[in-house]
Chain A
Amino acid sequence: MEENKKILIVDDEKLIVKAFQDHLTRKGYEIEAAFDGEEGLIKVKEFRPDLILLDILMPKMDGITLLKKLKESPETKEIPVIMITNLEKKESVAETAELGSLVYLVKSNHGLIDINREIEKSFKK
């Protein structure tokens, strides 16, 4: 288990954020949460996470726009991003992959086990 890895969760669903936050904290990660895209962008700069869990449908700024901004900036473009969403659209899967996200997980179809596996995979690289 790698110590002190920092993960930023960007999702407007408070309970989902809480579940991920509690679980991943217990796993030994340092967690920060943002509840919309704009807040996410600020938190990325302040918190400098090693990984971002990113939702798509959010107020103020959606996840795809945020992902675009992250990948455009040299400071943030290397941070791995895992999409966690309930939006099942082929287009968004393709779009986020093209923008450089690692993987696209549909929340209702994937449990914590799957998310853990993907997080660990990204840190092993």
Chain B
Amino acid sequence: MARKQQPEFDIEKIAAMAGQQATPKKVRLATIWLSGCSGCHMSFLDLDERLVELAKMVDIVYSPIVDVKEIPECDVAIVEGCVNNNEQEHELKLLRSRAKFLIALGDCAVTGNVPAMRNQFELRDVMRRGFMQTESTKRVGVPSDPIVPRLFPKVRPIGEVVRVDFYLPGCPPDADTIWYVITELLAGRTPKLEKPKLRYD
């Protein structure tokens, strides 16, 4: 089991600073950013002042916006992006094994979306195009260092790698929709996605 690290930015401290006493039993929330444009995380940050509200209810224990190196045990995991390489697959599987409830956030996680457009091409051609044929990368060549994560021949949405408990499509989903889903889940209800909350674009 991974050792739990103390986050540099303690969300409880922030809540305390806001004059709020953190409740003892908070939900542990992790978010992860795989192959995506970070737009879904931006949309998450678009919760704006509701983030303070959220901080009263959850601890964000792992996230691109939290400096924690290892994936801890958590109650809810939110995944942005699809699975492009072996590192992402490893992280996703690890997250799944440590999360009680996993949400696919945004079209990349749900369908593969834009990153999956490369699935129409041979991996070799994709690499050549990306690392050799563009103006800025001509001389670099395709990286071959074993430390660099290895791209899979096909991009997969996360549902094809791990079990997903809730799909929240959208490119990106609105902050309002994210808020609705999180608050419904925290209230112990299953969110009902219908138009206009349900969107694929």
The answer to whether A and B belong to the same complex is no
